[in-house]
């Protein structure tokens, strides 16, 4: 009869894998768009664009998988007494994160598909990823770039909010919610303090 208060192992694995990949996307995205302007760093920046595209497409595939998993396996309930504001705020941030995890890579893929440069995309040099039949279309590329940037920056803000909220509940409210998303966490969440 013991009811687990933790996320499933698949949800936990996907959460941390996607989190690590998104961190790599933030860092690589911000670096490469600046480094490409510097002739001394242009080659490394170009290679980083290729890696960024491959990681971004992986995040898209993993996020779709995660969304499907989430719809089939509802998360464990929040502790009783969680205020309506906290419930709504958490749900809003979580669904907005799904929006970024799916919207940002789609916009990125539209951007490179429409680009007049026509630079091919591969998955870590292992196989070619066919572009969408959208280009060359410089106007569409520019629009997709603006959306990609807006979603990426929105994503940075959302991740910051998400992490701060998780740390607040963990350490200021002592709710031990982080255990629900950790592989080695204790069952049941709140044991004796």
Choices 56-64, 69-77, 82-90, 173-181 (CB under 6 A): range interacting with ligand HEM: 56-64
Q: In angstroms, what is the minimal distance from the CB of 156 to ligand HEM?
A: 7
Question: Which two structure tokens, joined as six digits, stand for 14?
Answer: 């996907």
Q: Where are the alpha helices (DSSP H) in the chain?
A: 9-35, 42-72, 84-114, 138-167
Of 108 and 135, CB closest to ligand HEM: 108
Q: In angstroms, what is the minimal distance from the CB of 14 to ligand HEM?
A: 14
52 contributes a contact to ligand HEM by CB under 6 A: yes
CB 138 within 8 Å of CB 116: yes
Q: What distance in Å separates the CA atoms of residue 45 and residue 29, rounded to the nearest whole number?
A: 10
The pattern of x and - marking residues 82 through 101 that bind ligand HEM according to CB under 6 A reads: -------------------x
Bond preceding residue 136 cis, omega within 30 of 0 = yes
Cα angle 5, 92, 182 (rounded to 5 degrees) comes to 30
Among 149, 159, 165, 185, binds ligand HEM (CB under 6 A): 149
Question: Which two structure tokens, joined as six digits, stand for 5?
Answer: 């208060």
SS3 (DSSP) at 77: coil
Binding-site residue total for ligand HEM (CB under 6 A)? Answer: 26
Applying CB under 6 A, which residues contact ligand HEM? Answer: 22, 25-26, 29-30, 33, 49, 52-53, 56-57, 59-60, 101, 104-105, 108-109, 111-112, 121, 145, 148-149, 152, 155
């Amino acid at each position: 009869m013991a009811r687990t208060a933790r996320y499933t192992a698949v949800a936990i694995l996907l959460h941390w894998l996607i989190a690590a990949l998104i961190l790599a996307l933030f860092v690589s995205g911000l670096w490469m768009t600046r480094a490409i302007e510097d002739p001394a760093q242009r080659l490394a920046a170009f290679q980083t664009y290729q890696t960024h595209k491959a990681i971004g497409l992986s995040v898209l595939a993993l996020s779709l998988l995660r969304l499907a998993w989430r719809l089939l396996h509802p998360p464990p309930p929040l502790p009783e007494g969680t205020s309506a504001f906290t419930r709504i705020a958490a749900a809003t941030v979580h669904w907005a994160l799904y929006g970024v995890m799916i919207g940002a890579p789609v916009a990125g893929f539209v951007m490179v598909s429409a680009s007049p440069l026509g630079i091919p995309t591969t998955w870590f040099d292992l196989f070619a990823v066919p572009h969408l039949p959208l280009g060359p279309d410089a106007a569409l590329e520019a629009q997709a770039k603006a959306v990609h940037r807006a979603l990426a920056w929105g994503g940075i803000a959302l991740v910051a909010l998400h992490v701060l909220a998780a740390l607040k509940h963990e350490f200021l409210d002592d709710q031990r919610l982080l255990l629900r998303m950790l592989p080695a966490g204790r069952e049941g969440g709140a044991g004796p303090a």
